[in-house]
Each structure stands twice: as C-alpha cells, then as structure tokens.
Amino acid sequence: MKLRKFLFCILLVSVVLLAAGCENGINNGNYEKKEEVSIYVVVEAYYETASCSIYTSDNSNKYDNAIIMVNEIKLDKMGVPQDWDEDSLFYKKISGLNLAVHEEVTIKISHPELPFIEEIYEIPDYPKNLQANRDLKDLLKENVDKVTLSWEDVGCDEYRISINKTYHAPGAEKPIQGGTTRWIKDNSIDLTSKDLDIYDVIDGELVKIADADTVTINIFGVNGQDKPTTYGRLNIRVYSPERASLTASTLAED
C-alpha cells in the first residue's frame, strides 16, 4: 500500500510539472511557437535592393515594427497592396549594395516576438557562358520541341533563371508581357515552347493569352537557404552582382 501511494505521488508531481511546463512553453527561453511565421529575405546586388516579407497566420500587423538590417542599413517599411498576402513588407534601395563577388552581406532581423536572427552570406558569382544548344528563335517559332540551356558551375547554392516574354500585338499601344522564374541547382535546363508562352490568371485559372515574339533569359548565381525554424520558416536568397543573358526575337522576320 505504501508503495502504491509513493508511486501515485510521483505520478501526480510529474503531471503537475508537465502542466506547468506546457503553460510556460518548456523551451529553455527560446521562442515559444504560437503561430507559423515565414520570413523571406531577398538581396539583389544587381539592382542595389533588399527586401523582407513576413507572413503570419495570426496578427497581420504584429511584425510591422520588426527591425531588418542589411549590412547595418535598416530597411524601410512599405505599404502592402490590398491584393497581396504579405502581412509585413520591408524594402530598401541601397546605394552601394552592388557588392563584389565573394564579399559578405550580413542580415539581421529583430522583434520582441521572435528570436534574434543573424545570417551572413557570401555574394555569389554568376555563369558567364550561358548558351543554348539550338537557336531560341526556333523555339519561339515552334520549329523545335525543346532547347537546352547550359552554363558552367560557379559554386553557388543555386541559379535563378528569369524568362521575360513579350508579344507585340499589331496596332496595340503597349506590348503584352509575362515572366517566369526557375530555381535550378544543376547547370542545365530544358525549355519547351510552353515555357515561352505568356500566361495570365483568369477566374483563378492559369490561361495562355499570347505567343511570345521576343524572349530574354537572364541567369543569376544565388546563395541562401530555405529551412524550417522554431518559429516557422526562414528563406534567404542573395543574388550575384552580375548576370548573363540570351535574347531572341522573331519581329525582324515579320
């Protein structure tokens, strides 16, 4: 009987301690996860800009007073368009941010509801010999099924491929434009004619609206990470200060 009472007391104390721990977060002073917070930071040395978006499932104004520093320069808070999902958006054009390859960029984020974040990344190089195995003009005219782009590996974490597409409609005041972005860890990519089509979202559906007659493909080197954290997710991308490009157009033949 005494043994039973002793074991019961131990169990009772354990339950009380567990409840107290849950009440206080049991996280050794770390951030207590009450909501999912996703932080996205982009540093574009080519454009001398840095931006930070904070998504949250809880209070849309909660992180408006966050302090985001890039190389000790504080980012300004921007107003967010009504059709955007961002709860907090910070943006800054930073004169002199066009850093050289292998220089470091330091990102710091602080807010009372978040752990202090400090990340340091090296400015990546970019591929200088972007090339296609077929003429991109043939892909615009759908004379070939695909074109393979390739480049040398410069040792960065990944590559950003931006495809800027334009259609010049006869008699129109302005051309129709579209764009696609790809993130590639390899050093080649296959493109089909669908990749050069221009799309728009209509009634919630992605719909083709034009065949491009002009295309420009840019490639940047990128260093960064996308990782889960105690508070949600942290995504940082630092772009190279230069880019390589390929352009093709069928306009001259029309």
The string of pLDDT tens digits covering residues 193-210 is: 999 999 998 988 889 999
The whole-number pLDDT of residue 84 equals: 52
Look at the chain and report how many structural domains it folds into: 2
Tell me: do 135 and 213 sit in the same domain: yes
Q: What is the pLDDT of residue 80?
A: 57
105 and 150 together in one domain = no
3-class secondary-structure state, position 239: strand
Q: What is the pLDDT of residues 44-72, one digit of tens each?
A: 988 889 999 988 876 667 888 899 999 99
- Low-confidence stretches of the chain (pLDDT < 70) are 1-35, 58-60, 79-87, 252-254
**Residue 141 has what pLDDT?**
93
**Dist. CA 194–CA 216, nearest whole Å:** 15
* Cα 139 from Cα 145, distance rounded (Å): 7
- Same domain for 170 and 217, yes or no, is yes
Whether residues 45 and 85 share a domain: the answer is: yes
Q: Which amino acid is at 38?
A: S
Residues 200 and 139 in one domain: yes
Residues 93 and 151 both lie in one domain:
no
| Same structural domain, 107 and 149 | no
What is the span of the domain harbouring residue 153?
131-221+242-253
Q: Are residues 118 and 135 in the same domain?
A: no
> Hey, CA dihedral for 92, 98, 101, 106, is it positive or negative?
negative
Cβ 146 vs Cβ 192: under 8 Å: yes
Query: Positive or negative, the Cα torsion across 165, 93, 74, 121?
Result: positive
pTM (whole model) above 0.85: no
pLDDT of res. 83 = 52
Task: Supply the CATH number for residue 180's domain.
Answer: 2.60.40
118 in any annotated domain: yes
Domain co-membership, 55 together with 158: no
48 and 102 share one domain: yes
| Residue whose C-alpha is closest to residue 251's, from 174, 167, 195 | 167
> What CA–CA distance (Å, rounded) separates 10 from 22?
18
- In sequence order, which residues have a C-beta less than 8 Å from that of residue 103 and are 6 or more positions away? 122, 123
Q: 122, 145, 162 — which closes off a domain?
A: 122
Tell me the CA distances in angstroms from 174 to 177, 200, 213, one per residue in order.
9, 16, 14
